[in-house]
Every structure is written in C-alpha cells, then in structure tokens.
C-alpha cells in the first residue's frame, strides 16, 4: 500500500492522488520503489567484488601446488610438487626433509634436482629421471601415489 509522502495517509495502490490531502502519489511511489532496489544491487555488487578480492588475496597456497603425493614405500612420507617447479619431500620416518627442483622433460618423464645441501640425504634421487604416469611417480626412491 502506498503511503502519502505529505500526510502519511495509506492509499489504494491504484490511487494517483492522496485520499486525505490530494498530493500526487504516482511519481513519489515510483521514486521510493526504484531507488532502494538500485542501491541494493550496486551495494551487493560492490560487496561481492570486495569478497572475491579478499578470497583471492588471502587464499591458502593450494593454488601453488602442482601435485601432492604419498609414498608407497616409506609410510606417511609426503612429496609436494609446486607450480614454481620446486619440491619438498618429507620423509617423516627418517626425520628428513629434502628440497629441490623438478621438471617434466618428456610426456612421462620427470627430472628431479636435489638441492646441493640435501644431496647427501637422498643420493639415490640423482641420476635417471623418474616416470610420472597415471597419478604415480616412479622414482625418487620408490613409488609415489597422487592423493
């Protein structure tokens, strides 16, 4: 029900003029109806943009990870290949953490370079490239299953 902006009288939706004071209702009703809806749409859009920006800026490093693998040889060991072509291999059983770089050199061949400071921890990783296939990496001292 439209209310008169002049006297507050409740009027029929079809009334063009206030029943009590005769003020023209049509344009006033349209104006008060249209403005809040537009403001709400603009406000909601702005809020959405802010939320998306915050999510993108503060999201965890999940997007940096190319693949996460667990060892089928060393229980609870973990290999993480990052998109910046570094990797971290965590051999919890041995209490050893190894860093290095990785690169896919052919369709199913992946080359690992262990950081010089970690070479003594993982001598068997140096040499032939590993095979990366069907969500598995065969090499780096065993079989690694993508999770």
18 belongs to the binding site for Zn ion (CB under 5 A): yes
Closest approach, Cβ 6 to Zn ion, in A, equals 4
**Pick from 53, 104, 98, 52: nearest CA to 78:** 98
User: Which residues are bridge partners to 130 per DSSP?
Assistant: 110
- Report the residue from 3, 6, 28, 67 that binds Zn ion according to the rule CB under 5 A: 6
Q: What is the DSSP letter of 29?
A: H
Residue that the structure tokens 């029900």 belong to: 1
Closest approach, Cβ 4 to Zn ion, in A, equals 3
- DSSP letters of 38-55? HHHHHHHHHHHHHHHHHH
Residues 104-143 within binding reach of Zn ion (CB under 5 A): none
Closest approach, Cβ 23 to Zn ion, in A, equals 5
- Report the residue from 10, 12, 16, 21 that binds Zn ion according to the rule CB under 5 A: 21
Distance CA 129, CA 147 (A): 21
**Interface with Zn ion (CB under 5 A):** 4, 6-7, 9, 18, 20-21, 23
């Amino acid at each position: 029900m439209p209310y008169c902006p002049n006297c507050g009288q409740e009027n029929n939706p079809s009334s063009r003029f206030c029943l009590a004071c005769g003020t023209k209702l049509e344009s006033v009703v349209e104006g008060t109806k249209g403005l809040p809806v537009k403001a709400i749409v603009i406000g909601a859009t702005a809020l959405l943009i802010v939320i998306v920006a915050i999510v993108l800026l503060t999201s965890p490093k999940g997007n940096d990870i190319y693949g996460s693998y667990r060892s089928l040889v060393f229980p609870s060991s973990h290999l993480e290949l990052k998109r910046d072509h570094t990797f971290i291999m965590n051999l919890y059983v041995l209490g050893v953490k190894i860093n290095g770089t990785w690169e896919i050199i052919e369709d199913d061949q992946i080359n690992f370079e262990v950081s010089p400071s970690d070479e003594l921890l993982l001598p068997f990783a140096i040499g032939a490239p590993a095979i990366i296939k069907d969500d598995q990496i065969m090499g780096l001292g065993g079989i690694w299953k993508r999770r």
